Structure 1
Amino acid sequence: MRWTTEQIADQSGKTFLVTGANSGLGLVTARELAAKGGHVIMAVRNLGKGERAAAGIRGSVEVRHVDLADLDTVRALAADLHAGPTGIDVLVNNAGIMMPPRQLSAQGHELQFAANHLGHFALTLLLLDLIRERVVTVSSTMHKRGRIHYDDLDGGKRYSPMAFYAQSKFANVLFGLELHRRLRQAGDARRSLIAHPGYSDTNLQTAGPTGVAKAFMRIGNKVFAQSAEQGALNQLYAAVDPRAESGQFIGPDGFGENRGWPTVVQPIKPAEDEADAKRLWELSERLTGVRLSSADLRR
C-alpha cells in the first residue's frame, strides 16, 4: 500500500514536538502535521530560520530554541515545556548533522554523537512525563555501517566523518529499541518507533561535509535522491498512523531502502543487541546526567 499524507487523520487537539523543524524532513513533518490540525512545536537551533520557516506553514505552530549538541539548551527547553499548559502527544527526534570535520560539543563530546544521539536521548527522557503517545527517532540506512566506538567515543584517536555519522545513526536505533523494551517491561503502552528517510534530498548532505565529500553529496542529491516530501512520509507514518507499532523501524520499500513508500524494515542484527543497547543507555545516562525515572513510566 502506498501510504501518503492523505491518509493522515485529523490531528486536532494533539501537540507534536519536532526537532530540526526549520528545514528538510523536519519542515515537511511540521507542515503536514499542522495542515492536519495538530499544534506543532518547532524546536530549532536558529530562531531566525525557524521563524521564517514557521511563517510559511498554515496551521498552529510555535518556535522554540534548542541546540541538540548543547545539553544546557536541551535542559532549558525541557524546563520551558514543563512550565507550559499542555503535554506532548508525539515527540519526533528528527534533527541531525552529517559528516562535518571533527568538532566537540559544548560538553566535550564528538559533535555528531552529541547532536544526533545524546541530545535526543536527554530530551526524550526529560520530556517523557509529558509525552502521551509516542516517540519517533529518525535514523538512517547508514546505521548499517555503524558501531559504538567505546574506546574512542570523541574521535580523538582516529576520526572519520562518515564512520562517526554511522555511529550516531546506529546509536539512534539502539536507543529507540531499548526505549521500546523499557516501556514494555514497565507495562507502559506508549510507543517508541524508529524511522529513516532513505536517500532524500535535504541540506543535511551539504551542510556538514566539506571539500570533495560535499561536492559528491551535492551531485548525489540531484541524481539519486528522492524528495524530502517523499522521505518524510516514513517518520510521519511512524508518528501518526494507528497501525505503527512500538519497536517497529519504518523506511522506504524500494531497492536498498533508498526510495519508495513507508513499510516496516529491519535494522542490522547488531543494532538489536540488547546488551549493547543497555551499555549505550548507561553510558548516555552518565554523559548527559539524565536518567530514566520509574515515575516517568506509566502502568
Structure 2
Amino acid sequence: MTPGLWGALLGAVAAGGLLLTASRIRLVRRPQLASRVLPYVRDLPQVGRVPAVRAGASSAHTSVAAGVFGPPLRAAADGVERVLGGTTSVRRRLERAGLDLSVHDFRVEQVVWGLVSLVATAAYGMLRTLHDPDKALSSAVLCLCAFALGVVARDNHLTGQVTRRERAILLEFPTVAELLALAVAAGESPVAALDRVVRRSRGELSRELERVLAAVRTGEPVGVAFDRLAATTGVPLVARFADGIVVAVERGTPLADVLHAQAADVREAGRRQLIETAARREVLMMVPVVFLVLPVTVLFAFYPGVVGLSLTTP
C-alpha cells in the first residue's frame, strides 16, 4: 500500500472513533432519572436501607472516559477471564496482596496493561510498515504478542505484590507479637491488647489485625475471626500465630508465653534465611573473581614471558 492509502485508512479510522466517542458522550451526558428525582426525596428517612446517592454524586457525574471505554473494557475483561480462567487463584492472590479489587476489576486492569503494550507496539509497527509494506503481517502478529505480554505482565506484577506484602508481614511480625505479649502480660484481655497494638502500629500485619478486630467488634467470636485469618493468609508463621491465639483463648493457656515463643521462632527463621541468603551471595561473588579477575591476573603473569620467548627465539 502506498503512503496515501495508509493516510486515508488512518483518517477513516480516526473519524470513526471520533463519531463513536461523540455519540457515547451524548448518551452519557443525558440526565438520569436519579439525578432528577433525588433532590426531592433525599430528605426522607432512610430506614432499613442504604442511604441513597446524593444528586450530583459520582452516579450523576460519571466520568466520560469510563462511560465511553467502560463497556468495551468490561467485555474484553470477560474474554480474558474465559481464556485464562483461574478465578479462585486470582481471588486468593488479591486477598494475600491486600488489594480491594474484585476479580473482574483485576481483569480490566490486565486488559488496560495489554492495550498500553499494544498501542506502543502498534506505533512501532506502523513506522516499520511505512518503510517496508511487506512487514505488515509480522507487525500485526507482534501487536497480538504485545497484548498477551501486557496481560501476563499484570499477572506477574500481582504475584510480586503478594511476595512484597508477605515479606513486609514477616518483618513486622516479631515486633507486633512482642507488643501483644507485653499488653497481655500487663493484664489486658486479648481483644483489648489487639486494639492497643493496632492503634499504635502501622503496616501490613496491623491492617490484617485491624480486620480481625473489626470482625470481633461486630460480635464474631475471637476464635472464628483468627481462624479466618489463618485460612486466608499466605504466610505460614502468621497462620500458626492465629492458631496459637485461638488455642490460648479457648483452652486458657498462657497467651503471653505463646506470643513470646512465636516471636522468637520468627526471629530465628529470619536469621536462618539471612545465613542462607549470605551463602548464596557468597557463591555469586565468586563469579566476577573467576571469570574476570582471575583471567586478567593470568594474562598479566604469562604475557611478559610469552613476549620474552618471542623476542629470544631466532
Q: TM-score, normalised by structure 1?
A: 0.20
Higher relative contact order (CA 8 A, sep 6+): 1
* Structure number, greater radius of gyration: 2
From the two aligned structures, give the one with the greater strand fraction: 1
Q: TM-score, normalised by structure 2?
A: 0.20
